[in-house]
Amino acid sequence: MARVSLLLCLVILVTLGVVVTSFANNVEVQSEHVESSKKVTKAHHICKDKEKGGKKVNGDHNAGSDGKENKKDEKNKHDVHKKEGKSGDIVLGYDSVKSYETDKVYFGATVGRVANRIGKAHFKLNGKEYKTVANDGKNTLHGGKKGFGDVVWAVTKHKYDGKKPHIVFTYTSPDGDQGFPGELIVTVTYKLVKDNELSVVMEAEAKDQATPVNLAHHTYWNLGGHNSGDILSEEIQILGSSYTPVDGELIPTGKISPVKRTPYDFLQPRPIKDNMKDLKTGYDINYCLDGKVDKMRKIVELGDKKSGRKMELSANQPGLQFYTGGMLKDIKGKNGAVYQAFAGLCLETQSYPDSVNNPKFPSQIVEPGKNYKHNMLFKFSIVS
């Protein structure tokens, strides 16, 4: 497959195959290569005439030059081991672009136009009823059968050296896409802002019609290493005092309930497995986050005592879908790994599920000419 050489240099730095050393005196965050994000792996297609809704990128500085891909050499070049500590890949993923194209579990995807679920695949907006594409029984999940994680994005800007290396992806979703109204222009920016800090910014502009927008980042994390087994012993703190109960199809009932005295209480750090005995498939629930919506604030702290790695997530969204990967089964991942249930966890900052059908939930509607912005900041360090 053709390769974008200049882009790959940056991708290695900023995609989410993040690794962190396990000793306090030498913390190092790295990226392995392009398979940790569907958008990133599919960006290799941009130089060809296969873009699907993305803006074409021309010129050597934007698209790079073609050449043979050698993943082994890139891995050996960038997966560095220091004397003081050991680095590791903490993101689940695949070894090939083809595997991402057929992926069903959203490894590393940007999901939308509306992440999470829309009950009965329909909603009303400005007096008109819209039917979206059902792909989760009778419901719509993560944008439908061909959501934003299943299309080719264009690379419109990148900087791979100096301060704050970054890369910008763009996709234009047409009117009627999966049943959603209006054209939507979407950008996602990955940027290294400080040592061991990764910023992800998702933006969208509704061009001509009001439309629901709820974008989410769907990385599966395992701080022990992507091939280290399950995440159940990792300790997590979620700063959300309430959650949205769901029915048997994981559609919110419309209620908002306190987490105290429930298995969903992670207001204080504790191992994920502590209260899972009554949750056969683990956690897959939306938290109503504390703090002011639209303001950046710390919402999650995740730690793995065995490896010594720690991750802190801040965001500006009202909700967090906490998913512990209970439905993973026999998935052939990168470097020969086979992922089973609870091999990784997702921390999907977003609006509440099915908000389009629950007027009491925070609105997901973006009016024409208005902008949507979703900020995330991942900080990596060592467990104290």
Query: Does the annotation mark 218 as catalytic?
Result: yes
CA distances from 53 to 46, 92, 181, 364, 367 (A): 11, 27, 16, 23, 21
- The distance from CA 129 to its chain's CA centroid, rounded to whole angstroms, is 29
- Residue 335 dihedral angles phi and psi, to the nearest 5°: 55, 30
Query: Does the annotation mark 348 as catalytic?
Result: yes
Catalytic one of 74, 166, 348, 374: 348
Catalytic one of 142, 218, 226, 374: 218
* Coil, helix or strand at residue 264: coil
CB–CB of 10/158 below 8 Å? yes
CA distances from 98 to 9, 35, 161 (A): 21, 10, 29
CB atoms within 10 A of CB 355: 26
Residue of 195, 197, 225 whose CA lies nearest to 309: 225
Please give the structure tokens belonging to residue 343: 């091999």
Q: For the CA atoms of the chain, what is the radius of gyration?
A: 20
CB–CB of 63/57 below 8 Å? yes
Give catalytic residue positions: 218, 348
